[in-house]
Chains A and B, each alone.
Chain A
Amino acid sequence: MKNAKSVYLDKEKIKSFEEIKQKEISFFQRDNQIEKILSNKDILILPSSLAWQKYSWTKKFFEKKPKEGYFIWLKKQINFPLLICLGIYSPQKKQNLNNLLVIEKNVKVKVITNCYSQKSNLKASHQAKGKIILKEKSQLNYHHFHYWHSGDKVSSDYEFILKNNSSLFYSYKNFSSPKNLFLKNLARLEKGASVDLKITTQAEKSKMKIIDSIILAGENSQGILKLRLVGKKDSQIENQSEIIAKKQSKGHLDCQGLLVEKRSEISTMPKLVCQSKKAQLTHEASIGKISEEELNYLRQRGFKESEAINLIVNGFLQNNL
Chain B
Amino acid sequence: MTAAVAEYPRAGGASLKRNRRWALFTSYFFLILFAIFFLTPPYYMIVTSLKSDAEVAHLASNPWIIANGVTLEQYRLLFRETDFLIYFKNTVIVTLCVVAITMVVSVLAAFSLSRMRFWGSGILATGIFLTYLIPDTLLFIPLFQIVRGLGLLNSYWSMVLVYPTLTVPFCTWIMIGYFQSIPKELDEAALIDGAGHMQMLLKIFIPVALPGIIAATIFAFTVSWAAFVYPIAFLFSADQQVLTVGTVTSLIKADVYKWGMLMAGALVAAAPPLIVYAFLMDYYIAGLTAGATKG
Query: Is chain B found bound to chain A in the same assembly?
Result: no
Chain A residues close to B by CB (< 8 Å): none
